[in-house]
Each structure stands twice: as C-alpha cells, then as structure tokens.
C-alpha cells in the first residue's frame, strides 16, 4: 500500500510541475484503483476455514496415504479466486532421493461459492523411510487486478512416519540361541556357576560354597572350584550417523542401508527374546520440525517457504538412546526412532561413546555400524574393548581402499570381529560376511 501511495505522490508532483491535468487525472484513477483493490481483497480470508484428515500417520515403505484438505467459505458472498497449496518439503519430493511421490493435485486455483466447499485430494506414495511434514495449507487471495494479495496459513500439518524395513537375517544359529554369538568375557564381571572350569588352592576370603570337598579329600589341602565367566546375550546397537561418514555421492543409499541394518539386527534379537538397545548420534526429525515452526499470517509468498523446509545443519550434542530392554514393543520403538533419524554434524563417534558409555551395559555386545573408521573412532572402540566390552563392527558400503584402511585401524586396536555390508541384497547374509573368520560365531572377545 505504501508503495502505491509513493507512486501516486510522484505522479501528482510531476503533474503540478508540468501543469498537466491529464497526468493528475491518471494519478487519481490509479489511487482509486488501489483503494478499490484493497477493499476487494480485505477480509476475504477471514471467512475461510480448512480441515485436514489425519494428524499423525504411520506407513511402511511402499505404502500409500490419501490426503484430503477441505476448505469452506463461511460467508454469504462469493470469493472470485483463491489459490490453495498444500505444502510438502521440496527435499522429500526430490526425484533423486525418492522419498515421497505425489499423485494428484495439491495446488488448485478455485472460485469459492457462497457457503461453498472445495477439497484438495491427492495420494502420497512412500518410497523411503523418514519423518515428513505434510502441510500446512497456504491460502492466497487478492483483488481482480492482481495489485493486492493476502496470504494465510491454514489446516495444521499432518506428520507421516515411514518405517524402515526389517530384513530377516539368515545364518544366525537360531537353534543354539546365539543371534550374534555368545561372548566370553575377558574380564570376569559375572561367573556361571553351572560351568566349572577347574580347581585351585584355597585363598583367604573364598566362600565355603566354592570348596570342592572331593578334591580337598584327595589332596589333603583345601581346594576351591573355579567357574567359567558368563556369556553375553543381546546387544547394544551403536549407529554412527555423523554427516562426515555419508558424503553426498553415496546418499541416500548408504544412510538407508545403515538404518535398515540396525532395524534388522534389533528385529533378530527381539525374535529370539534377547535384550537389545540402540545408541546413535543422529538427530530426531521431530525435534527439528518442532523447532522450525512457520509464520501463521505471512505478508508475502516467500514467507511461506519456511513452513515446510528442512534445515540441514545440526549441532546436536546429545545422543539418542533406546535403553536396553527385553520387551515385545522394543522393535516397534526402535523402528520409530530409526525412521525419524537424520544425519548430524555435531557429535562424532568418539564423543558419542564418551557421552553414552554409561548407558551401554556391559552384559551386552556392542555392535557398531560405521560408514567410516577414523583413527579417533578406532581408538574409542579399542578403549571400550580394553574396559571389558565385547565389541563388533559392521562397516557399511565402503570402497576397497577405505575398507582396507578401516580394517587396519581396527586390527591395531585388536578388534577382529568385523563384517562388511555392501548392499541391502547382502543384508540377509550379514553374519556370514565376517572379514576375520577366526571367530566362527562372531563378536568374540579374545
């Protein structure tokens, strides 16, 4: 409005200087047109209301979602034109990444009849896992001349959660109930009293129930039983989702493969009723969306661009943790966490281990899913091994040179249970892809 008043003032000044009545008449006509346009556009959007079907939807990869947004004109007068656009993040619709595919019209130019109703209907095909904001609806209206426009954000967004696949893992010895192998502890945190390893001489402080009376009778001196250390069951899955490990040329395939592998490992352990947990340095897409927000009453169309945008940078310094549990809903909780997982550039693996070490129980195997192995990461994993943790590593989609370097760095830390996951097609054979075959069940700490 101010812009048009300035233009009218300049025209009036020019008319006075030139003593041109025609130019002054043009100024009055322009000013009248602006005022009429403003009057025609004012208040039209106040009579509109919108509603959306669904608020929180969960789908599997390959599933579809029918979205419907209904807009109603509650006034007794018609609205000559209204532009409706239901926003979907541009990154989600990028055909190179193939996250979502929209079939139908999510943008319409319509005329609203008095007390009339118009619907936007379209179908979303879920091609990749993720957490997506669908909406909000942006409504645009103005005068018939296109001189004055107003925008409004309506119909709060829906949130679509697409769960990662869970691939059955072949090769695990189901009969012996060793999904990832029983781990003989280097440090005797626990002892299995059902498995005797031998006998030794009595030492002050030994409890009486350890005395082996038959051996004592034969030798004439007190002898005590020695038990095998207990074996570990279950795992803590450590997923490195730092952005440096996922360069653009390998995305989104490498990131999705790492997530699918993590979900499949959790699924295998849950199927065998063993305890499992998850620790990762990725960010939660739900937290990102909640922190971004959007402008409810934008003054120009560019203000609506951020209503469904994705902020790439993240300085998250707090790990995401799914506590180790043995429960029926653990797989569902892990899939939801992994579906919302996004890469971060704030917490590298070595800092993740330092921050999350207290949340990794010693009676589970630490299985690290890594897209790369830096010297700092290898040293951090080696430090975990030296502290008594049983550590296994799964390398994700590495080139031959990078794979050889990673193996060398892990071997230097005496981490020999390493597998290489080349593609999702090889995922069912994950436990057969051990690089060091000296440990047939894998994940054995020497």
pLDDT at 104 (0 to 100):
92
pLDDT at 312 (0 to 100):
54
CATH number at residue 60: 2.60.40.10
The rounded percent of the chain whose pLDDT value lies above 70 is: 76
Looking at the fold, whether 240 and 344 belong to one and the same domain comes out as yes
| Mean pLDDT (whole number) for 417-431 | 88
The set of long-range contacts for 91-96, using a CB threshold of 8 Å and a minimum separation of 24, is 91/310, 92/130, 92/132
pLDDT at 24 (0 to 100):
72
Looking at the fold, whether 386 and 427 belong to one and the same domain comes out as yes
| Of residues 219, 88, 221, the one with CA closest to residue 158 | 88
- The model's pLDDT over 372-411, given as tens digits with 9 standing for 90+, comes to 999 999 999 999 999 888 899 999 999 999 999 999 999 9
Of 140 and 32, more confident: 140
Task: Please provide the size of the chain in residues.
Answer: 446
Looking at the fold, whether 133 and 109 belong to one and the same domain comes out as yes
pLDDT band at 443 (very low <50, low <70, confident <90, very high): very low
Of 14-23, 69-78, 251-260, 306-315, the least confident? 306-315
Of 170 and 398, more confident: 398
- Dist CA 160 CA 144 (whole Å): 37
Pairing of strands 391-396, 365-370: parallel
- Dist CA 284 CA 117 (whole Å): 37
- Dist CA 17 CA 40 (whole Å): 33
Segment of 167-181, 266-280, 351-365, 372-386 carrying the highest mean pLDDT: 372-386
pLDDT at 310 (0 to 100):
54
pLDDT at 101 over 70: yes
218 CA to centre of own chain: 64
- Residues in Cβ contact with 369 at an 8 Å cutoff, skipping those fewer than 6 apart: 237, 238, 239, 240, 258, 261, 262, 394, 396
- Dist CA 392 CA 235 (whole Å): 10
pLDDT at 41 (0 to 100):
62
The conformation of residue 88, written as its DSSP 8-state character, comes to E
Question: In terms of pTM, does the model score above 0.75?
Answer: yes
Largest pairwise CA distance in the chain: 132
pLDDT at 185 over 80: no
Which among 137, 163, 189 is the end of a domain? 163
Of 81-90, 165-174, 326-335, 432-441, the least confident? 432-441
- Dist CA 30 CA 33 (whole Å): 5
What values do phi and psi take at 291, rounded to 5? -80, -25
- Residues in Cβ contact with 386 at an 8 Å cutoff, skipping those fewer than 6 apart: none
Looking at the fold, whether 216 and 322 belong to one and the same domain comes out as no
For residues 111 and 78, is the Cβ–Cβ distance under 8 A? yes
Residue 182 lies in a domain: no
- Residues 94, 159, 258, CA angle at the centre, nearest 5°? 60
Residue 290 lies in a domain: no
- The model's pLDDT over 292-349, given as tens digits with 9 standing for 90+, comes to 766 555 555 555 555 555 555 555 578 899 999 988 899 999 999 999 999 988 889 9
pLDDT at 439 (0 to 100):
42
pLDDT at 251 over 90: no
Strand partners, 59: 162
pLDDT at 187 (0 to 100):
42
Looking at the fold, whether 412 and 270 belong to one and the same domain comes out as yes
Which among 163, 184, 214 is the end of a domain? 163
pLDDT at 241 over 90: yes
Looking at the fold, whether 113 and 202 belong to one and the same domain comes out as no
CATH number at residue 267: 3.40.50.410
What values do phi and psi take at 206, rounded to 5? -65, 135
pLDDT at 430 (0 to 100):
82
The total of other beta-carbon atoms located within 10 Å of residue 207's CB is: 7
For residues 396 and 257, is the Cβ–Cβ distance under 8 A? yes
pLDDT at 151 (0 to 100):
87
For residues 391 and 370, is the Cβ–Cβ distance under 8 A? no
| Of residues 284, 236, 244, 285, the one with CA closest to residue 262 | 236
Of 178 and 357, more confident: 357
Q: For the chain, what is the mean pLDDT?
A: 82
Of 363 and 321, more confident: 321
pLDDT band at 192 (very low <50, low <70, confident <90, very high): low
Residue 169 lies in a domain: no
The total of other beta-carbon atoms located within 10 Å of residue 406's CB is: 23
Of 88-97, 111-120, 225-234, 285-294, the least confident? 225-234
| Of residues 284, 288, 290, the one with CA closest to residue 321 | 284
Question: Which structural domain range is residue 205 located in?
Answer: 198-227
Of 46 and 127, more confident: 127
- Dist CA 181 CA 265 (whole Å): 13
Looking at the fold, whether 140 and 202 belong to one and the same domain comes out as no
Of 272 and 92, more confident: 92
pLDDT at 207 (0 to 100):
86
Looking at the fold, whether 62 and 133 belong to one and the same domain comes out as yes
4 CA to centre of own chain: 48
The set of long-range contacts for 294-300, using a CB threshold of 8 Å and a minimum separation of 24, is 294/136, 294/153, 295/153, 296/152, 296/153, 297/151, 297/152, 297/153, 298/138, 298/151, 298/152, 298/153, 299/151, 300/151
Looking at the fold, whether 253 and 213 belong to one and the same domain comes out as no
| Of residues 255, 258, 229, the one with CA closest to residue 430 | 258
Residue 331 lies in a domain: yes
pLDDT at 188 over 50: no
Of 137 and 46, more confident: 137
**Whole-Å CA distances, 446 to 29, 180, 185, 298:** 91, 16, 8, 63
Domain count, the chain: 3
């Amino acid at each position: 409005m101010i812009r048009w008043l300035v233009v009218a003032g300049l025209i009036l000044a020019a008319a006075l200087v030139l003593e041109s009545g025609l130019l002054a008449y043009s100024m009055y006509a322009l000013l009248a047109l602006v005022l009429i346009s403003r009057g025609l556009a004012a208040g039209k959007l106040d009579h509109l209301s919108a509603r959306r079907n669904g608020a929180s939807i969960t789908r599997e990869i390959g599933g579809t979602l029918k979205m419907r947004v209904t807009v109603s004109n509650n006034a007794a007068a018609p609205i000559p034109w209204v532009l409706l656009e239901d926003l979907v993040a541009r990154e989600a619709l990028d055909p190179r990444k193939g996250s979502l595919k929209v079939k139908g019209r999510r943008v319409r130019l319509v005329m609203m009849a008095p007390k009339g109703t118009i619907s936007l209907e379209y179908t979303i095909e879920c091609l990749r896992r993720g957490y997506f904001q669908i909406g909000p609806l942006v409504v645009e209206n103005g005068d018939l001349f296109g001189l004055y426009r107003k925008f409004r954000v309506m119909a709060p967004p829906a949130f679509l959660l697409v769960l990662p696949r869970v691939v059955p893992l072949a090769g695990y010895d189901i009969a012996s109930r060793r999904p990832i192998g029983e781990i003989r502890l280097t440090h005797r945190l626990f002892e299995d009293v059902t498995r005797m390893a031998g006998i030794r001489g009595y030492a002050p402080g030994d409890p009486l129930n350890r005395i082996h009376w038959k051996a004592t009778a034969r030798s004439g001196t007190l002898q005590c039983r020695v038990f095998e250390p207990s074996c570990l069951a279950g795992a803590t899955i450590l997923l490195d989702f730092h952005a440096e490990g996922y360069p653009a040329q390998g995305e989104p395939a490498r990131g999705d493969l790492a997530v699918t592998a993590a979900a499949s490992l959790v699924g295998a352990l849950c199927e065998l009723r063993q305890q499992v947990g998850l620790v990762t340095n990725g960010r939660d897409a739900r937290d990102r969306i909640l922190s971004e927000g959007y402008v409810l009453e934008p003054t120009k169309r560019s203000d609506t661009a951020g209503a469904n945008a994705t902020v790439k940078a993240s300085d998250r310094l707090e790990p995401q943790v799914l506590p180790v549990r043995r429960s029926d809903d653990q797989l569902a909780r892990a899939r939801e966490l992994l579906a919302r997982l996004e890469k971060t550039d704030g917490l590298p693996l070595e800092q993740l281990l330092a921050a999350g070490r207290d949340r990794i129980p010693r009676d589970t195997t630490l299985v690290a899913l890594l897209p790369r192995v830096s010297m700092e990461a290898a040293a951090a994993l080696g430090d975990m091994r030296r502290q008594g943790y049983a550590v296994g590593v799964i390398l994700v989609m590495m080139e031959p040179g990078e794979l050889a370097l990673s193996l060398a760095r892990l071997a230097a830390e005496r981490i020999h249970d390493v597998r290489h996951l080349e593609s999702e097609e090889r995922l069912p054979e994950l436990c057969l892809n051990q690089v060091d075959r000296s440990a047939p069940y894998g994940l054995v700490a020497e």
